[in-house]
Amino acid sequence: MNNTLLSHLTVGEKGRVLSLTLPADARQRLMEMGLTPGTECSVVRFAPLGDPMELRVRGYHLSLRKAEAEGVAIERL
């Protein structure tokens, strides 16, 4: 089972985006920020209170909430 959700990755883990199951607007925004299917990303850290999380994607750092990350299917790398 190498496929999981982005929100389930732990700090330091890497994954490749498979698909996004989110409301249209949220999906589009995530994709515009570079989280398109096929993109690799890794989890940098979680905020002190556990949410949001910080990702490294396409060479920069992006923070998003677990609620959105739950809609991103990932292949663990």
Contacts to other proteins by CB under 8 A? 20, 23-34, 36-37, 39, 44-45, 47-52, 54, 58-65, 67-68
Three-state SS for 71? coil
> Are 74 and 10 spatial neighbours (Cβ–Cβ below 8 Å)?
no
Cβ 56 to other proteins shortest distance, Å: 9
Instruction: Tell me the one-letter amino acid at 43.
Output: V
Nearer to other proteins, 1 or 24 (CB): 24
14: number of Cβ within 10 Å = 14
Nearer to other proteins, 1 or 25 (CB): 25
> Are 18 and 29 spatial neighbours (Cβ–Cβ below 8 Å)?
no
Nearer to other proteins, 2 or 32 (CB): 32
